[in-house]
């Protein structure tokens, strides 16, 4: 088991190396003079020169790479071309809102979706099942910004339950965080609830047809125990996969929700950086999201061995 | 043959089923699935319910357990009485309290009947948790006690094992332990030994008998195997299409079957007496295997797993028009050999010659033209045909791959269907429109469509009912006569091997332990393992087809 974990962690190294090479080349191999692209049409020769030196563009490619990786390993992602602050610092300020929102979203989604899916599978082909499936189709088909504005309109402006926009860190008061985060999280959650509920239902349907479910019933075990102790754990692996992918996608895909709810997260940081052609920030963002993606996949892979003792590597 | 000849006239009854009728839930016009089934089981009695697939045996047992699939089947009439209460009238909760306390059930497939992600000790313990409140220490003691009663070795270790770490026989013991820990009055055993090897089957049957004796449990034993019936039954009920057509004490039923269907069923039981031997043809071998070896887990860059020898030093040859059987229990390597010969897997070492061409070392690409010489029929006709393809499409796929014209291939497909005893318009139909036996005929037609020299039948009749089994065996025999095809017949069933094989190879632990003519292997086994296989065959002293003891010459 420990050997497997170590091997799995070591496997992260080549993946992240490829990502790093890609990120490095992103700027260098763009056709034309990167400095000119970054500086834009109105740049003066002095500005171009300043950008070239700051990026070390006049040195040979491999030396640039070595320098860049060296700095990267020390946690130095460069300096923003616009605000002149270190990229790590910029990301550090913006990443927590996004991660907090993502975690809350996934927790909400799982809490809502898994029981929904279990119920739908248990009551297969009854109205309960049809309602769950209808909700799931709806969750897939309504765009995020529509749901977001709908929620604001109803719960914030109409009922006045929650603030319209903004973000407060959990450390400054969990209640305040929750009251502001709940609507964006529910907004984000709709599609994940739809996805996870569907996957749970499909996976549970398969498991509920298994012989050991019949055995459990023949033992006189209560239905709720049959569903959650016997069936759900067997159905868990595909559900975990979906949750993991969902979480990773969340980190990268919160742009719209952050804009609608005015949350200072990395989604907006990315958009701003792209609009301003702030290459060091863009590079940092790519590294961060792919790193998170790899990390989450690692956690999911390791979780399989917890759910299914037959998985041994 | 010694039968159980116990008298149950004065013994109180445990379960009484009265005119039980079960119908499809949303279809009142279809014939009932169970049609006024009545039966009684008394204390300590073993009642066997025999019949072919679809006869309603399992539906009967599930009705007693109250486990009919909801929304698909429903009991519409009759009574099921246990301790004076009608089980059909009980609510869900009251029924749940009956299970495991009063009635328990064990199932066919020990591989899938246990939850794979829960330790087996915990699974047995769950029965106690559900029905009794006991302190943890006592609970554990009772679980360990029942585990040793079912003769599991090293109970402390097995208590903490997961199902996949145990053998099939051990898992079935766990199932039995789970079923009997609360000492129910009635044990329902639904084909509990069908998925097990004969030697394991023998142990499980005697275990059930032992515990039945000890606890006075009544047993409802469901099986399709007349051999098992002869070994264990007190009373036998024969089912057909949802009705009980005959009931009698076991010896009476086997000696003097009254109903035509019972006679038919008994006649279809393949005899352990080998078929009359055919003259040895001269001529070169069509298929010959020399020093075949298959080792699993040998290479792998990072893995340091132990290697498994699935087959070592396997050699035999078959001349044209003859049938060689490979007999062995699960894990003996018989299927590995079949797959190596088909080159579905690559042998580690050794030679395979098909019609004088060495194919063991050919690359996949170089092998393609030789594939047509050797074709296979698999065990499960429900899974070996593509459900979305018409029969015709399945039949012509092979010929098209080797360059046949579509039109001629289709014409040939229709002829082949006639040859295997199916209507020629079956080409346009889909597999689900056919029964298991018919599908296996299609699978055979598919194999011979390639005009192979060798046909490999990998447990090709094992999933079929005995009467259908007899027909398919006959078909293979006829095809062999007409086409001169050579058959390699892989089976775990000595009775089937006795009926079709000229020669038999017995395998154990990946090695051939005995190789001789079928007659010699079955009547004069030399190796101890072969003898134990034959001795474990249930009902071996009875000649079912002729309703009397086997006359030993």
What DSSP assignment string belongs to A266-302?
A: HHHHHHHHHHTT-HHHHHHHHHHHHHHHHHHHHHHHH
State the nearest Cα–Cα gap between B168 and chain A, in angstroms. Answer: 15
Higher pLDDT among residues B120 and A84, named by residue: B120
Domains of chain A: 2-73 (no CATH), 87-307 (1.10.3720.10)
Residue A42 — φ and ψ, nearest 5°? -95, 15
B382 interface with A at CB cutoff 8 Å:
no
Structure tokens belonging to residue A41 = 């049409």
How many Å apart are CA B128 and CA A15, to the nearest integer? 50
What pLDDT is attached to residue B553?
46
Percent of chain B with pLDDT over 70: 98
Chain A neighbors of B91, CB-CB under 8 A: none
Q: Is the pLDDT of residue A9 over 50?
A: yes
Interchain proximity B114–A309, CB inside 8 Å: no
Query: Where does CATH 3.40.50.300 sit in chain B?
Result: 1-102+184-268, 285-549
Cβ within 8 Å, pair A221-B130: yes
CATH C-level class of B1-102+184-268: alpha beta
Work out the burial of residue B505: count CB atoms within 10 Å of its CB; fewer than 13 is exposed, 13-18 middle, 19 or more buried: buried
- CB nearest to A234's CB, from B100, B101, B116: B116
User: Using a CB-CB distance cutoff of 8 angstroms, which residues of chain B are in contact with residue A214?
Assistant: 67, 107, 113
The alpha-carbon gap from B473 to the nearest alpha carbon of chain A, in Å, equals 31
pLDDT of residue B341: 92
- Residues in A touching B59 (Cβ below 8 Å): none
Mean pLDDT value across chain B = 90
Tokens, residue B160: 């903490």
- Rounded-to-integer distance, Cα B544 and Cα B548, Å: 7
For B206-257, how does the pLDDT look when each residue is reduced to its tens digit (9 = 90+)?
A: 999 999 999 999 999 999 999 999 999 999 999 999 999 999 999 999 999 9
| B109 contact residues in A (CB cutoff 8 A) | 211
Would the pLDDT of B303 be above 60?
no
Give residue A303's pLDDT.
87
Whether the predicted pLDDT of B363 surpasses 90? no
Confidence of residue B4 (pLDDT cuts 50, 70, 90): confident
In CATH terms, B285-549 corresponds, of 3.40.50.2300, 3.20.20.70, 1.20.1090.10, 3.40.50.300, to: 3.40.50.300
Stretch among A4-13, B34-43, B102-111, B510-519 having the lowest mean pLDDT: A4-13
**E strands, B254-347, where?**
285-296, 308-319, 323-327
- Quickly tell me which residue has 């012989």 as its tokens: A211
Kind plus residue range of the DSSP H or E element containing B349? strand B349-354
Query: How many angstroms separate the Cα of B356 from the Cα of each of A308, B318, B321, B326?
Result: 48, 12, 16, 22
Please report which helix (H) or strand (E) contains residue B491, including its range.
Answer: strand B486-491
Sort out which chain B residues have CB atoms less than 8 A from A308's CB and list them.
Answer: 116-117
Q: How confident is the model at residue A160 (pLDDT cuts 50, 70, 90)?
A: confident
Residue B370 token pair: 């030789």
Q: Do B113 and A307 touch (CB under 8 A)?
A: no
Separation of alpha carbons A231 and B414, rounded Å:
46
Average confidence (pLDDT) over B373-381: 90
Question: CA dihedral in degrees (A236, A242, A243, A245; nearest 10)?
Answer: 140
Of A210, A220, A310, the CB nearest to B97: A220
CB B376 within 8 A of CB B338: yes
**Residue B69 clears pLDDT 50, i.e. is over it:** yes
The per-residue pLDDT for A184 is 87
Contact by Cβ (8 Å): A227, A145: no
Looking at residue A170, its pLDDT comes to 85
Distance between terminal CA atoms of chain B? 16
**B490: β partners:** B326, B458
Q: How far is B108 from chain A (nearest CA, A)?
A: 9
Give the mean pLDDT of chain A: 86
> Could you tell me if the ipTM is greater than 0.90?
no
Averaged pLDDT for residues B364-374 = 87
Could you tell me if A158 lies within 8 Å of chain B, comparing CB atoms? no
- Max Cα separation, chain A? 83
Cα distance between residue A42 and residue B376, in whole Å: 75
Between chain A and chain B, the number of residue pairs with CB atoms below 8 A apart is 72
């Amino acid at each position: 088991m420990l050997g497997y974990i170590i091997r799995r962690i070591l496997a992260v190294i080549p993946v992240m190396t490829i990502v790093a090479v890609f990120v490095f080349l992103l700027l260098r191999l763009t056709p034309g003079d990167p400095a000119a692209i970054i500086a834009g049409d109105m740049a003066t020769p002095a500005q171009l020169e300043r950008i070239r030196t700051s990026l070390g563009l006049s040195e040979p490619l491999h030396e640039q790479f070595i320098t860049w990786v060296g700095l990267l390993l020390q946690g130095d992602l460069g300096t923003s071309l616009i605000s002149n602050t270190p990229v790590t610092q910029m990301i550090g300020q913006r990443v927590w809102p996004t991660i907090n929102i993502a975690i809350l979203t996934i927790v909400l989604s799982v809490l809502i979706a898994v029981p929904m899916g279990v119920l739908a599978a248990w009551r297969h082909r009854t109205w309960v099942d049809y309602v769950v499936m209808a909700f799931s189709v709806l969750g897939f088909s309504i765009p995020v910004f529509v749901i977001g504005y709908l929620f604001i309109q109803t719960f914030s402006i109409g009922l006045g339950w929650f603030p319209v926009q903004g973000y407060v860190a959990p450390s400054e008061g969990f209640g305040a965080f929750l009251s502001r985060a709940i609507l964006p999280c529910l907004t984000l959650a709709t599609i994940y609830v739809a996805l996870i509920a569907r996957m749970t239902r499909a996976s549970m349907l398969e498991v509920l047809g298994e012989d050991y479910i019949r055995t459990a019933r023949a033992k006189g075990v209560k239905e709720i125990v049959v569903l959650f102790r016997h069936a759900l754990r067997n159905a868990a692996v595909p559900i975990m996969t979906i949750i993991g992918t969902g979480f990773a996608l969340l980190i990268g895909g919160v742009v719209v929700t952050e804009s609608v709810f005015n949350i200072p997260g990395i989604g907006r940081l990315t958009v701003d950086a792209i609009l301003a052609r702030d290459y060091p920030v863009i590079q940092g963002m790519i590294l961060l999201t792919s790193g998170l993606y790899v990390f989450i996949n690692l956690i999911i892979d390791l979780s399989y061995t917890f759910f299914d003792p037959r998985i041994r590597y | 043959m010694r039968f159980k000849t116990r008298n149950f006239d004065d013994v109180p009854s445990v379960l009484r089923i009265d005119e039980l009728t079960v119908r499809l839930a949303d279809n009142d016009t279809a014939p009932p699935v169970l049609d006024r089934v009545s039966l009684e089981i008394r204390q300590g009695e073993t009642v066997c319910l025999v019949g072919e697939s679809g006869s309603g045996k399992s539906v009967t047992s599930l009705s007693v357990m109250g486990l009919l699939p909801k929304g698909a089947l429903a009991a519409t009439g009759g009574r099921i009485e246990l301790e004076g209460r009608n089980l059909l009238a009980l609510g869900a909760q009251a029924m749940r309290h009956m299970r495991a306390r009063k009635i328990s059930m064990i199932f066919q497939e020990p591989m899938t009947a246990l939850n794979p992600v829960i330790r087996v000790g915990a699974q047995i313990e769950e029965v106690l948790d559900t029905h009794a409140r006991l302190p943890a220490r006592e609970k554990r003691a009772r679980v360990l006690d029942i585990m040793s009663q079912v003769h599991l070795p090293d109970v402390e270790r097995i208590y903490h094992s997961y199902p996949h770490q145990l053998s099939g026989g051990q898992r079935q013991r766990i199932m039995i332990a789970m079923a009997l820990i609360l000492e129910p009055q009635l044990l329902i055993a639904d084909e509990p030994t069908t998925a097990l090897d004969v030697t394991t089957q023998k142990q499980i049957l005697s275990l059930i008998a032992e515990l039945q004796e000890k606890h006075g449990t009544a047993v409802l034993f469901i099986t399709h195997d007349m051999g098992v019936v002869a070994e264990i039954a007190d009373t036998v009920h024969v089912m057909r299409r949802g009705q009980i057509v005959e009931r009698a004490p076991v010896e009476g039923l086997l000696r003097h079957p009254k109903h035509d269907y019972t006679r038919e069923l008994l006649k279809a039981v393949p005899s352990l007496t080998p078929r009359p031997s055919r003259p040895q043809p001269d001529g070169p071998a069509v298929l010959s295997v020399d020093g075949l070896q298959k080792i699993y887990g040998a290479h792998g860059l990072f893995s340091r797993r132990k290697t498994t020898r699935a087959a070592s030093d396997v050699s035999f040859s078959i001349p044209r028009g003859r049938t060689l059987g490979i007999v062995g229990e699960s894990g003996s390597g018989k299927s590995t050999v079949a797959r190596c010969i088909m080159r579905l897997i690559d042998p580690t070492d050794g030679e395979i010659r098909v019609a004088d061409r060495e194919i063991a070392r050919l690359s996949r690409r170089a092998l393609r033209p030789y594939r047509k010489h050797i074709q296979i029929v698999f065990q499960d006709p429900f899974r070996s045909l593509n459900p979305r393809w018409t029969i015709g499409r399945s039949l012509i796929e092979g010929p098209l791959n080797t360059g046949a014209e579509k039109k001629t291939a289709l014409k040939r497909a229709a002829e082949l269907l006639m040859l295997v005893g199916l209507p020629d318009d079956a080409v346009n139909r889909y597999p689900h429109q056919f029964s298991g036996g018919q599908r296996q005929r299609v699978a055979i037609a598919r194999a011979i469509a390639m005009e192979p020299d060798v046909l490999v039948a990998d447990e090709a009749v094992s999933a079929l009912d005995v009467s259908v089994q007899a027909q398919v065996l006959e078909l293979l025999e006829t095809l062999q006569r007409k086409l001169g095809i050579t058959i390699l017949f892989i089976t775990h069933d000595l009775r089937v091997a006795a009926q079709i094989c000229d020669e038999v190879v017995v395998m154990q632990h990946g090695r051939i332990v005995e190789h001789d003519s079928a007659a010699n292997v079955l009547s004069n086994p030399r190796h101890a393992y072969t003898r134990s296989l034959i001795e474990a065959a249930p009902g071996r002293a009875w000649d079912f087809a002729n309703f009397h003891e086997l006359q030993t010459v």
